[in-house]
Structure 1
Amino acid sequence: MNNIIKEILFNIKYVLGTFIVLFSITSCNNDLLDTKPLGVATVGDLTTGGFEADAFGLYGQLRNSGVSNWTRYWFQSIRSDDAQKGSSAGDQAQAGADFDEFGYSNDSFLNNDNWNEHYKVINACNDLIDAIDVSGLTDSGTIVNMAEARMIRGFLYFDLRRDYGEVPIIDQKVIEVTDGIKPKSSVVDVDAFIEADLIFASENLPVTWVSNFDGRATKGFADALLAKLYLYQASESNSQEKYTASLTKSEEVINSGVYTLVPSYKTLFSLEGNNSTESIFEVQQLVTESGQTFSNNYYVSQGVRGTGAWDLGWGFNVPTQTLVDAYETGDPRKNETILVSGEDDGGYGSGILPGTPPLDQLYWNKKAYTEAATRTKLSQRQNNWENIKIIRYADVLLMAAEAAFKTGNSALAADYLNEVRARARGGANVLPDITSVTLDVIKHERRIELAMEGERFYDVVRWGDGPAVLGSLGFLPKHEWYPIPQAAIDQSQGVLIQNPNY
Structure 2
Amino acid sequence: MKNIKFKHIVIAAFLGMTATTTQSCGDDWLDEKPLGRPIPGEGSSVGGFESKVFGLYAGLRQQAGVSDFSYVWTHCIRADDNEKGSTANDGAADGNVFNNFGYVATNGHIKNNWTGHYKIIFDANAVINEAVASGDTSQGTLMNIAEAKAIRAFCYFELRRDYGEIPVNLKTIVNPIDEIAPKNTIAEVDAQIIKDLTEAAVDLPNQWPSVYLGRATKGMANAVLAKLYLYQGNNAKALEYAETVINSGVYQLNTSYDAEFTKAGNNSKESIFEVQKTYDFATKYSNNFYESQGVRGSGAWDLGWGFNVPSTELVSIYENGDVRKKTTILTSGGPDIYNNAILPNGPNNPNPVLVQQYWNGKAYTALSERIFYGVNKNHWEDIKLIRYADVILIAAEAALQSGNAAKATTYLNMTRSRAGLSNVTATLSAIKQERRVEFAMEFERFYDLVRWGDAVTVLASKGYQDKNKYFPIPQDAIDKAQGVLVQNPNY
TM-score (norm 1): 0.89
| Aligned equivalents of 1:495, 1:340: Cα separation in 2 | 49
CA contact (8 A) 1:268 1:276 kept: yes
| Aligned equivalents of 1:11, 1:432: Cα separation in 2 | 47
Report the Cα offset of residue 349 of structure 1: 1.2
Q: Where does residue 95 of structure 1 map in the other structure?
A: 94
Report the Cα offset of residue 14 of structure 1: 2.8
2:365 to 352, 357, 370: 370
Matched, 1:462 2:475: no
| Aligned equivalents of 1:140, 1:42: Cα separation in 2 | 25
Report the Cα offset of residue 289 of structure 1: 4.7
CA contact (8 A) 2:226 2:239 kept: yes
| Aligned equivalents of 1:115, 1:138: Cα separation in 2 | 33
CA contact (8 A) 2:101 2:462 kept: yes
Q: Where does residue 336 of structure 1 map in the other structure?
A: 327
Q: Where does residue 238 of structure 1 map in the other structure?
A: none
CA contact (8 A) 1:305 1:359 kept: no
Report the Cα offset of residue 44 of structure 1: 8.4
- 1:19-55 C-alpha deviation (Å, 9 max, x unpaired): xxxxxxxxxxxxxxxxxx9996776852430001001
- 1:218-270 C-alpha deviation (Å, 9 max, x unpaired): 00000000000000000xxxxxxx10000000000000000000111101100
Change (3 A) 1:212 1:40: farther
1:20-169 to structure 2, matched below 5 A, reads: 46-65=44-63, 66-169=65-168
Matched, 1:252 2:241: no
CA contact (8 A) 2:11 2:54 kept: no
Q: Where does residue 23 of structure 2 map in the other structure?
A: none
1:271-420 to structure 2, matched below 5 A, reads: 271-290=263-282, 292-346=283-337, 348-349=338-339, 351-357=341-347, 360=350, 362-420=357-415
Matched, 1:496 2:485: yes
CA contact (8 A) 1:207 1:220 kept: yes
Q: Where does residue 12 of structure 1 map in the other structure?
A: 12
| Aligned equivalents of 1:116, 1:471: Cα separation in 2 | 29
CA contact (8 A) 1:14 1:61 kept: no
Change (3 A) 1:276 1:360: same
Q: What SS does the aligned partner of 1:318 have?
A: strand
1:270 to 251, 257, 262: 262
Q: What SS does the aligned partner of 2:221 have?
A: helix
Quick one: which amino acid aligns to residue 295 of structure 2? V
RMSD, aligned CA = 1.9
Report the Cα offset of residue 134 of structure 1: 2.0
1:423 to 415, 418, 421: 418
Structure 2 unaligned runs (5+)?
3-8, 16-34, 352-356
TM-score (norm 2): 0.91
Q: What SS does the aligned partner of 1:331 have?
A: coil
Report the Cα offset of residue 378 of structure 1: 1.7
| Aligned equivalents of 2:466, 2:208: Cα separation in 1 | 43
| Aligned equivalents of 2:12, 2:342: Cα separation in 1 | 46
Q: What SS does the aligned partner of 2:380 have?
A: coil
- 1:174-231 C-alpha deviation (Å, 9 max, x unpaired): 1232221111100010000111111111111000000000000000000000000000
| Aligned equivalents of 1:404, 1:389: Cα separation in 2 | 25
CA contact (8 A) 2:77 2:99 kept: yes
| Aligned equivalents of 2:204, 2:345: Cα separation in 1 | 49
Change (3 A) 1:394 1:38: farther
Report the Cα offset of residue 360 of structure 1: 4.8
Report the Cα offset of residue 131 of structure 1: 1.1
CA contact (8 A) 1:306 1:359 kept: no
Quick one: which amino acid aligns to residue 257 of structure 1? G
Q: Where does residue 471 of structure 2 map in the other structure?
A: 482
| Aligned equivalents of 1:42, 1:212: Cα separation in 2 | 17
Quick one: which amino acid aligns to residue 412 of structure 1? K
Quick one: which amino acid aligns to residue 179 of structure 1? D
| Aligned equivalents of 1:314, 1:210: Cα separation in 2 | 37
| Aligned equivalents of 2:108, 2:247: Cα separation in 1 | 43
| Aligned equivalents of 1:11, 1:283: Cα separation in 2 | 14
| Aligned equivalents of 2:184, 2:284: Cα separation in 1 | 39
| Aligned equivalents of 2:468, 2:11: Cα separation in 1 | 41
Matched, 1:472 2:461: yes
- 1:55-87 C-alpha deviation (Å, 9 max, x unpaired): 111100110012111111211111110101111
Structure 1 unaligned runs (5+)?
3-8, 16-36, 235-241, 426-430
CA contact (8 A) 1:341 1:359 kept: no
| Aligned equivalents of 2:39, 2:50: Cα separation in 1 | 12
Q: Where does residue 25 of structure 1 map in the other structure?
A: none
Percent of matched pairs sharing the same residue: 51
